[in-house]
Every structure is written in structure tokens, then in C-alpha cells.
Structure 1
């Protein structure tokens, strides 16, 4: 399972990993998870933990993958000292100076198991709050293209976002739902002066729901469900309950299909196999961060190819800089917005009948804890304080 390389190259990669974990601590964990913020800084300073990652393929060296692998093992070892720091496993111990050494000892004790997981498993998240971004994008598409539509998510994991109209929503001070009896409630704060009611349009008629993922999650498999739950962060007991409710709902309804496919080679073909001529909305959330520059361009080309046969809208919640660099078919964000890569840009690109229309709809926390809708079509979001990027 080792990945040998010259010492010079190895040293460069270790330094890259140190920076990656520190960046993860500052931009993803701060204000959200004291446990993962502390552990990220700790891993960056621990040669033994970095060496564990260096024995895996390059593309597997991700903070989220390491923490999920540990979390998976903790689920069956809840009596360990490390579990004391994880509320999702019943722990109540606050972050202190023993957390990083306890984490390192756990990793050393389970080194072989972690090595196998890090070598073979892929990142699998289903952040249900991102349905808020999808709802905002669908409302925009409906104003341009009223009527039924087909919905496709690329990088769909278990396809839970495809069931967006089966959930209740508490956005700002307003609740909205077409599923009053839903066991799942999604909560999201609204920032800015926009009225909450402007975020959601009507629930549309969705004719087909298709997810595309390189490694679809089979929710009938307890092991696959456990791996999905392993990506819930230590303090997020509420998120774990929401995820489990959405999984149970998906299993009971079976309304969405997720098929194996590569975003860069299969998207146009799979869209082309959908029956009907109604527009297809393609949703992505954090997909671009998993693609190289060439792969992002190939994905954009897939969308253009699909739009040669029926209208296609790309609704996205992605890092602004990656959107800007993906492809000129979408008029990417310019100026200061493109630099705010610790946030997500929510937008929509509509392509059909030889015409293109692009809109930047909101900035948001990457996990949609909050959303700041655009005030108008030319909003550069300078009214949103820079301090927001790290909260």
C-alpha cells in the first residue's frame, strides 16, 4: 500500500499536507468543530500521523477522509478515550491538551485498519442542508423556465438531495414545506436584508430524479450507511439525526436513482437517456474541489454537450474561484467574489435554444449553516463582512 517517491518529492508532499491540514482547520473547522480544528492543527505538526497519510495514494490524502476513517472505527469502539471527545458517540469531554495525543494513540493502535480504509475508501458526504442552495437555484430556473423539470445531481453520493421536496425547512424565521409530515427538518440562517420568502419558489413538478456518482452509496447496505455517517463531525449530533432521518425516508420512498458514472465522461450520456424534453437541472455541491483543472473543463463540456439536445441548467454550490476557472460557458464570478474561496457561491447557468443566461444567487457557508442571497443581479457581496469567511 506504500507510495514510494524520491526523498525530495516526499518532503514537498509532506509540507503540502501540513498546509492542507492548517487550511482545513482555518477555513472549514473554525467556528464549526473545535475537535476537528484542534486535530487538524495537531496532524499538521505530527510526523507520525502525516506518515500514515503518505502511505496512501495521492488523491486519498484528505483531512475529511482521515477523520471519517477514525470516526468509523470509533463507532464500534465508543469506550475508547478518544470517543470521550466526540458528542456523536456520547462523549462530553471538552477539547483540552490531551486530545491530540489521544487521537495519535488511537491511530497508532488502529494503524493497519486505518491504512486499509484510507487506501480503499472514497469521500462520501451527503450534506442535506445544501438542499437550501438547490431550492434557491430551482426557484431561479422556474422563473425563467416555468413548468416540469428533470433533476440530476452529479456527485450525488446516496442521492438524498434529490428528495429536497420531501423535507421541511426552517430558513431564517420562516418554516416552509410541502411535506408537513416529513421526519426531516433542515435549518439554515439567512444573512442580509433579503426576506426569507424570496429564497424559495414553489415546489416544482420533478419528472425524473437521477444521481450520478463514481461510487454510489447503497443505503440497503449497513456498512455503506455507516461510512456515510462517519463524515458527520464530532459535535454535530443534530446533523447526524437529520442524516439518519433522510436515509430512512430515502429507503422507504425509493424515488431517486443513483447510478455509477464519471462527471467528466458520463454526464451528457446519462442526461441524454432521460425521457422527455423538459429542462434538466444539474446540481453540484463541492464537486469541483474533487476535480483537476482539466477534469473541470471536461465536466463543463459535458453540460454543453447535453444542452445540444434539451435545455440544461447547472445549479451549483461551489468555491467561487473554482467556478470562475471551470469554463467560459458560465460567466464566472469576477473581482472580489472570486477570492472568497472559504465560502460557497450559489448560482445557476442556463443553456438552451442557443442562448445562455448566468446568475450569481448567493454566498453561503460551505455546509449551508447560513446563506446570504444576492441583493440584485449585479451584487458583488461586498456588504458581507470579510470576517464571515472564517466564521
Structure 2
């Protein structure tokens, strides 16, 4: 079960704390089953030790628990998780190593809209870490803000409806942005029309979130119909090439959501600097402390305020990781 190589001894206490943090600040009331799993992993050396043998970038709870469900473990059933680790570790670990958490939740587009409305004119939208491109079509979704104000695509009611809660002082966008060009960049782009890819994306959605799963299916269909282009490539070597295709008379806006967390601190700074050299605006929706250009938020973190939406490093909203709740910073 344990595939640790070499003599390095993993820091089990730090990994356990990572799972405790996930249980308290992310799963909490949003996914009781994943919270139970995370609490069990953090408290049980028999569960945490094999996870420590995985590459550091593959130890994240979202990925581990999705892979566990992919292999039949019952969400929240700790004995089921132990049985998987004890009897099918090699297959499970292979899935963890080969897969990634590339959901790009469509509801995060609400945070992007709040940033885009601060800009004028036509927009050329370029997303890094675009995955299947679900966050590249914010103008194709329908939005309901606080169950009152609605914002629809120019073509009318969209097949994907996003219900967004806005806190006091945040006004809903009045009009859709005029996006005249869009493109994505990802190390490993996903094809939303591929059944295996879509099945994995469904597994990444937390067990209790059936509405999100249905929304994902509809968004994947819409992205496929729109023919959204996501290029395989690296930010530091390919971003300039992709951006060069954007029309000169449109405002270039580079977006990224829950992307920089997969880079170490020096690489995050390099990414921000590289985007800055394009002369583009940048809209980020990242967990607190991840975007190096965004100032520290001093208010206590809650599950609904873990993420920061910022335009060119200036925060304009806090939100939950799925983008369905947005409040003033």
C-alpha cells in the first residue's frame, strides 16, 4: 500500500492538519460526508500514512476523495475508505497520479462578471488553467442574484441557471459584458464532450451537490456547442502566443480561478508578473493568501469568505470556493 521511495520521512502532522483544515473550512456543512472522511484521515495514522507517500501536489483532499469515490468508496463511510486503501491502493494511487481537480465551477463566473463590469468596451477573455472552458462563457449563463435580480444572455434564457447570493453593498451587474473573443490555456485541456472526462468531472463534484452536477452537465454541453478553444500549453512559455490572437480593439482580460494554488510561491509571483507584461487586466478568484498581488484580508475566514475576487490585485469581493456566495471584502 505504501509506495514511498527513498529515505525521506513525510511530515504526517502537517498533512493531518491540511485535512483538518479542509474539514472545518471547506467541507464543514457543505459536504458532511467529505467532512467525516477528512476528520477520519486527520485522526488515523493508518489512513494518513499512505496518503503521505503520494507526491505533495497529489495529497489534496478534493483529489483524494474524488479518486476514492471513483473506485467505489462510499462517501463518509470510513470503513469503506480503509478497505479501499488496504485492498486496492495501487489502482487508487494510479488514479490520483493521473487525474487532477480541473472542475472550474461555472458559478465562479459571477465573480468574474463583477470584475468585468468595472471595465469598458469590448472584451477579449483569456483564461489560464481553463480546464474544459466552463468559466470562459460567463455571458452565456443565466444568473439570479438574491432570487430577485436576473441577468440573461443576449440570446435569451440560457440553459445554465446560476443562483448567486450577494452580500450587502454588492450590486448585481446590470448588463452582460460584450465578449468578442475568448480563449483558454491549460497544461492538460479537458474535452467536455468526452464521456470519461465528463464522468470524472462529475465525480469531482461533492456528493451532496446534485444541483452542481446537473449544472456541470448543462455547462459542458453549452461549451461544446460554443466551440470554446482551450490550447495546451504553459503559462510562462505559451501565454504571449495565445494572447497575440486577441483583437487589438478589445480590452484583453486574463482570468484565473483556483489556479495559482497549484503553483509554489515563486511560480505564483512569476505568473502574476508574466500576465502583467502582457499589458492586460487580470481578474483573479483565488483562495486567501494565494494571489501574491492581493493584500491580506484581515476579517476572519468562513466557508463563505475563503476566496478573494480581485481586479489587477485590488479585491472587490469575497466568496465561497464555488462562487455562489459573494460579499464585500
TM-score normalized with structure 1 length = 0.77
Q: Distance in 1 between matches of 2:141 and 2:266?
A: 36
> Which stretches in structure 2 are left out of the alignment for 5+ residues?
none
CA contact (8 A) 1:265 1:302 kept: no
1:89 is matched with which residue? none
Q: Distance in 2 between matches of 1:193 and 1:297?
A: 31
> Which stretches in structure 1 are left out of the alignment for 5+ residues?
75-81, 86-94, 350-357, 375-380, 382-391
1:24 is matched with which residue? 22
1:90 is matched with which residue? none
Farther off after superposition, 106-115 or 160-169? 106-115
Greater Cα radius of gyration, structure 1 or 2: 1
CA contact (8 A) 1:220 1:251 kept: yes
Q: Distance in 1 between matches of 2:43 and 2:287?
A: 27
CA contact (8 A) 1:157 1:217 kept: yes
Whether 1:165 aligns to 2:135 is no
CA contact (8 A) 1:269 1:306 kept: no
1:148 is matched with which residue? 122
1:208 is matched with which residue? 181
CA contact (8 A) 1:139 1:199 kept: no
SS at the partner of 2:311?
Answer: strand
SS at the partner of 2:284?
Answer: strand
1:304 is matched with which residue? 276
Superposed CA RMSD: 2.2
SS at the partner of 2:295?
Answer: coil
Equivalent position to 2:201, from 228, 249, 255: 228
Whether 1:117 aligns to 2:80 is no
2:326 is matched with which residue? 371
SS at the partner of 1:296?
Answer: helix
Judged with a 3 Å threshold, the aligned counterparts in structure 2 of structure 1 residues 339 and 34 are, in CA distance, closer, same or farther, namely closer
Judged with a 3 Å threshold, the aligned counterparts in structure 2 of structure 1 residues 214 and 11 are, in CA distance, closer, same or farther, namely closer
1:2 is matched with which residue? 3
Structure ranking higher in helix proportion: 1
Q: Distance in 1 between matches of 2:314 and 2:4?
A: 43
Q: Distance in 2 between matches of 1:39 and 1:334?
A: 31
CA contact (8 A) 2:124 2:250 kept: yes
Instruction: Report deviation, 1:219.
Output: 1.9
Instruction: Report deviation, 1:218.
Output: 1.3
SS at the partner of 1:284?
Answer: strand
Whether 1:276 aligns to 2:212 is no
Judged with a 3 Å threshold, the aligned counterparts in structure 2 of structure 1 residues 334 and 109 are, in CA distance, closer, same or farther, namely closer
Question: After TM superposition, what 4+ stretches of structure 1 lie above 4 angstroms from structure 2?
Answer: 337-342
SS at the partner of 1:186?
Answer: strand
Q: Following superposition of structure 1 onto structure 2, how do residues 239-388 of structure 1 map, counting pairs within 5 Å?
A: 239-254=212-227, 256-307=228-279, 312-323=280-291, 326-327=292-293, 332-334=294-296, 336=298, 343-349=306-312, 359-372=314-327, 374=328, 381=329
Deviations 1:225-247 (A, max 9, x none): 11211110010011000000111
SS at the partner of 2:71?
Answer: helix
